Amino acid sequence: MSSKKHYSITVNGKQEEFLAEPRELLIYTLRERLNITGPHIGCETSHCGACTVTIDGKSVKACTMFVAQADGKYVTTIEGIGGLDDLHPLQNAFKEHHGLQCGYCTPGMITRATKLLEENPNPTEEEIRFGMAGNICRCTGYQNIVKSIQAAAAEMNAAKEAAE
């Protein structure tokens, strides 16, 4: 019934053009069509946040958006936040403070945390826990994720101060 349509989405700064059915969930577009496999799928009820990406300045669960809705938008995934040679302070802090074990929630966690720190550069522990509540982790018990985000916030604020 539904035929493929032409879509254009900018992912991590690169414009991608392709044909897809409108019903394709953005998480599948990223993973299977564009080979951007950092964002993960942990549930089918929009709870876990493993698929979290940033779209036009919002933290969004890419499993709960059709590719058709994302047409024309700017998407950032974990791959666009930092790479092996240029880790984002959050990526570095998750490594240093043991904020991950299996690593499956980590891309969504870090992507969400970038937005959290953008909106609230000095969050309290309670604000971090509440601000990350859309992301579930089965391994860490969250404690070290909180520490990682606190450490990254401190480093980013210090870098900002030094630059001013």
Where on the chain is the footprint of other proteins (CB under 8 A)? 1-2, 5, 21-23, 25, 41, 44-47, 49, 52, 58-61, 63-66, 68-69, 71, 112, 116, 130-134
Measure CA 21 to chain center.
24
CA end-to-end distance (rounded Å), the chain: 57
Q: Give the dihedral sign, CA 140/146/147/152.
A: positive
Q: Which residues contact 80 (CB under 8 A, 6 or more apart)?
A: 11, 12, 13
Closest CA relative to residue 109, chosen from 155, 152, 63, 149: 149
Nearest approach in angstroms of CB 73 to other proteins is 10
Tokens coding 147: 């520490």
Q: Between 14 and 125, whose beta carbon lies closer to other proteins?
A: 125
Q: Between 62 and 100, whose beta carbon lies closer to other proteins?
A: 62
Nearest approach in angstroms of CB 28 to other proteins is 9
Q: Between 36 and 109, whose beta carbon lies closer to other proteins?
A: 109
Nearest approach in angstroms of CB 58 to other proteins is 4
Q: Between 82 and 134, whose beta carbon lies closer to other proteins?
A: 134
